[in-house]
Amino acid sequence: MRADPGCILPECLQELTAGYRSRFSVGGVSVEMHGSESADVALVSSLEPFRVEAGVSDISIRVERVSHLSPPLGRGLFNSGSTWELHEGDAEFQFDFNAVIFGDRPFKRLLIDSCFRTATLQMNDDCLARYPQRVEPLGYPLDELLIMHRLTQEKAIELHSCGIVRPDGSGNLFVGHSGAGKSTTTRLWTAQQDVHILSDDRIIVRRNLDRTQVKQGGTRMYGTPWHGEAMYASPGSAPLSRIFILEHGEGNIVTRLSPSQAVAELFARSFVPFHRHEYVDSALEFLQELVGAVPVYHYAFEPNEAAVERILKFCD
């Protein structure tokens, strides 16, 4: 869905003229920020490995400083109860971000179009002046919210999972809820095998952006900055060969799931904005395509070396 004509940037917005800019890419989604000061486009440390050279971007963000932020407008869609809330206007979404040290008023606000391509990030100048080290333009959770919502416009999804790339370049995805054993699986593999870990907690899976590469139906997994306990976060990617739904158990038993079972298990472990039904429908449609291209298994594993050996010797 990368060529939606209704979401193409106007030509005047494709050529940025601000004095400072930075660009990063997560999961095949590139984001460019531009502002009048270097601090406006600074990347948080977790995003630095994902910094890329300038080029055509999927999302363009103009950063501006304002003296104050007015109360939110539009229909309320979501409130996290602590850090952020979402409202919807006639033509755009409004994300407000809060912190206890700033009281009731938001310290930054993202205004973005319904296709998640062009945005303005308003930074509360008073908050910046009083706590310059606490106000980061793309500090979490804004970075993840931005990417997660943009994925609704594409054939892609973010999954609660760890991605392990074997020496031959093939990728295994281990999907699981918190506590299912993703970080444990990561440690077991790195202790025994020369593998590359894309992330130990959150992976983006999508259609391969390079149409010349059609291995495994053109499905690829990407690392993200949002790591788990094992602290792995890589900007790399790899072809996706198999998916395993992790669960602690006995015997290291691998069971093939039916397409409907696989979709249900993956959806339950996905990061999808639920405030619009079309986002949910799009996610389910992509998961149906995914399980048709990549085999999905349930894996009841024991946290020992045998768990790795079971997968190494496993044949579909």
DSSP letters for 138-163: T-TTHHHHHHHHHGGGTTEEEEEEEE
Domain residue spans in the chain? 5-153, 156-312
Residue 7 is predicted with a pLDDT of 56
Q: What is the pLDDT of residues 50-61, one digit of tens each?
A: 999 988 899 999
pLDDT of 121 strictly over 90? yes
- Rounded mean pLDDT, 105-116: 93
Q: What is the pLDDT of residues 204-221, one digit of tens each?
A: 999 876 654 444 458 999
| 41 touches 23 (CB < 8 A) | no
Query: Which tokens is 75 given?
Result: 């229909």
Q: What is the pLDDT of residues 7-20, one digit of tens each?
A: 544 444 444 445 89
Q: pLDDT band at residue 72, thresholds of 50, 70 and 90?
A: confident
Architecture of domain 156-312: Alpha-Beta Complex (3.90)
The region of weakest confidence among 16-30, 123-137, 154-168 is 123-137
* Average pLDDT value for the chain: 90
pLDDT of 65 strictly over 50? yes
Query: Which tokens is 207 given?
Result: 């259609």
- Rounded mean pLDDT, 234-247: 97
Kindly tell me the burial class for residue 254, based on how many C-beta atoms sit within 10 Å of its own C-beta (0-12, 13-18, 19 or more).
middle
Residue 132 is predicted with a pLDDT of 67
- Rounded mean pLDDT, 182-193: 96
